Amino acid sequence: MGQTGGVRIVAAPDKFRGTADAAQVAAAIAAAAAEHGIECDQIPLADGGEGTLDALGGANRTTLVSGPLGDPVSAPWRLDRGRAVIEMARASGLELAGGAEGNDPIAASTAGTGELISAALEAGARRIVVGVGGSATTDGGLGAVRAITPRQRLRGVELLVACDVRTTFVDAATIFGPQKGATPKQVELLRRRLERLAQVYRDDFGVDVTEVAGSGAAGGLGGGLYAVGAELVGGFDLVAEEVRLAERLEGADLVVTGEGFVDAQSFEGKVVGGVAALARELGVPVLVVCGQTFDDAAERVELISLVERFGTEAAMTETADAIRRAVSDALGARRG
């Protein structure tokens, strides 16, 4: 990277789940850059899952809605110049249900997410972005669809579902049900329920959701919203466009991205893979920092594992400082 005069790097990370959010990771990267007198543009990112609301400006409103198991939840969301940003995990998320252990995978409902969409419509939103990761639910979006009243208000409104998976509708039960606390018998029940619900959506809306990529996101919420007119889009692509990532990467000397775990899945619609691909197109070198790495990820990109560098305890309990130290060392080596 040579001398520091005029050098600019971009910090464009995802969260390190459970240890540091994306903004904290970006700040740690910026702190490392500052140690070398390097300018750093901080762009915390998300892929449609948790952190999407923060990546798109943060909450400026709160609405009391039904939580995943029916208890009232104060759900934060954002409204700015006609664009609403809703993170379904804030209304119907697994953490709100007490994790897989506290969840009732059969009863968990997306009603609160639908109530947030209704609140956004009531407030005059003309473009609504719904991030759908981190759900407690496998209700096929039925709770949300029923809660959007009157549904005619969706006409003329751009409803975008930011998906971090391409799973189809019925497969959501098998792939994600166990993560939400479902037993094998409950998974089969949920699968049959999604099959019946797909027929209901065909009958009521004239829409077949079964083969639509991303329709299984958030236990079928993607499919339910698709049935009432939503467009399903890649979560990373949507966030990258909203924050002008490509424009801000132009001319950078390095982009540093990362997440808690980097594996083969990280290059399939997730932040690390999306940043790496975009940087490659623009001719910008990429450095990935992560907690742990699996599969052949280290062969795809220049990568630093905090666990390998500092050990598991430091990586888990002093994450931001470990990121700062690792990135600072990497920048120092590049200057040499």
For 21-58, the pLDDT digits (tens) are 999 999 999 999 999 999 999 999 999 988 999 999 99
* pLDDT tier, 4 (very low <50, low <70, confident <90, very high otherwise): low
For 142-152, the pLDDT digits (tens) are 999 999 988 99
pLDDT for position 1:
63
% of the chain exceeding 90 in pLDDT: 89
> In 3D, which of 328, 324, 289, 285 has the Cα closest to residue 305?
289
For 96-108, the pLDDT digits (tens) are 999 999 999 999 9
Q: What is the mean pLDDT of the chain?
A: 95
What is the rounded CA–CA span in Å between residue 55 and residue 23?
8
Query: How many other C-beta atoms lie within 10 A of the C-beta of residue 42?
Result: 17
Judged against a pLDDT cut of 80, whether residue 85 lies above it is answered with: yes
How far CA 51 is from CA of 90, 275, 314, 332, in Å, comes to 10, 16, 23, 30
| Segments making up each domain of the chain, as ranges | 8-44+244-335, 52-237
Mark residue 303 as left, alpha or beta (left: phi above 0; alpha: psi -120 to 50; beta: remaining).
beta
pLDDT for position 49:
87
What is the rounded CA–CA span in Å between residue 114 and residue 143?
7
* CB contact at 8 A, 94 and 180: yes
Judged against a pLDDT cut of 90, whether residue 300 lies above it is answered with: no
For 251-297, the pLDDT digits (tens) are 999 999 999 999 988 888 899 999 999 999 999 999 999 999 987 88
What is the rounded CA–CA span in Å between residue 289 and residue 257?
6
Judged against a pLDDT cut of 60, whether residue 191 lies above it is answered with: yes
> In 3D, which of 284, 271, 321 has the Cα closest to residue 7?
284
Per-residue b or e along 125-138, where b marks 16 or more CB atoms closer than 10 Å to that residue's CB: beebbbbbbbbbbb
pLDDT for position 2:
54
DSSP tag of 93: B
Q: Which two tokens stand for residue 178?
A: 């166990």
Length of the chain: 336
pLDDT for position 298:
78
pLDDT for position 3:
53
Secondary-structure class of domain 52-237 per CATH: alpha beta
Judged against a pLDDT cut of 90, whether residue 322 lies above it is answered with: yes
Q: Domain 8-44+244-335 sits in which CATH superfamily?
A: Glycerate kinase; domain 1 (3.40.50.10350)
State the SS3 of 6-23: CCEEEECCCCECCCECHH
DSSP tag of 151: G
The mean pLDDT value for 222-232 works out to 98
The mean pLDDT value for 237-242 works out to 95
